[in-house]
Structure 1
Amino acid sequence: MSALVEQLNEDLSEVVARARVGLVQIHNGHRGAGAGAVWHPDGLIVTNAHVVQRRRPQVVLADGRTVSARLLAADPDHDLAALEVDATGLPAVTLGASRRLRPGQWVVAVGHPWGIAGAATVGVVIGLGADLPGFPAGRGEMLALSLHLRPGHSGGVVVDESGQVVGINTMMAGPDVGLAIPVEVAKRFIKDALGTP
């Protein structure tokens, strides 16, 4: 049993390490910080619309550099925003497919809660928001997860067992359900807003 637990710990640590390198911290002034995912090595970052409170937030890259970002597009209905920074060769996240997720599948949410860079929380997929009774209207395009998202997780990533991004952290729905935007919704947002995949 201990060998199984050790292997699980090692695997989870590797998954988190892969996800962390593609994350940035986003500082929006006096209201605190959130996370963002490097979508493209040439400086395209995806985060939550609610994380971006001004048009030029400060972004802390994985290597510790702080740069100004430009807001390219925002979709408050899906809580998504696209930023651009003047940097190239950034380590980007690996995009997966949320439509392949199954209830009960393990996932890891990574972000910067309380300013702790790259902190992770683990849970399982409950399902799509539309499948849950009493779920908030208009939130059908959400992943419901049995994990706790804290302030600073917003805009971070949900990854599967291979470290591929399957969602973007957004908020809690009650005390025990974390919500994430499916990666397909984020891909569609980027394509519609910027004309790029």
Structure 2
Amino acid sequence: MKILSILAHPRSDSFCHAVSERARAALAAAGHEIAHHDLYAERFDPCLSADEAYTVGDTLEGAISRAVDPVVARHRAEISTADGLLVVHPNWWGKPPAILAGWLDRVLVPGVAYRLAAADGLPEGLLSVRRALILNTSDTPAEREQADFGDPLDLIWRNCVLPFCGVTASQRRVFRPVAGSPDAKREEWLHETEALCRTFYV
């Protein structure tokens, strides 16, 4: 499979980086083709400009050519041909980091990720991505996440983003709590990451 890997964490020594690296190594060992982007390392600009703002009737060619930033054009082209998606990011305030939210705004646009063909607001998914794996880190215990917050990250990915882009199979795993976790626990999570990548992308 052609898998697009997106990493969003500003510190290169973060556990998110370790998870992404281990995931990509497992995918490469399984023979998958990987295009990887560390958004912070690449200094991805999250701000959608007026010039590249999407239109309802846009085509893939139009959406790619109209991207003012060549980096965005490359990302749009890569996601349009990917079979799989891997996204690694922390849970910050119940949402992805701003740089990743901006990536969604600038890359998953009409003509690339979906098409609005009717006035009912229900999009037609355009991506060829068959499987999307979202790996998160968090310091909030699972019980409190559900009881107090309702797991907004799960709602964002599973209800608001992936299904409207045509992704039919998705899985999300949260490693928590990361703060204060011993090395042995982190290594256990990294082994789990490898196993997930070996079994999910088939």
Structures share a fold, TM > 0.5? no
TM-score, normalisation: structure 2: 0.25
Q: Whose strand proportion is higher, 1 or 2?
A: 1
* Larger of the two Rg values belongs to structure: 2
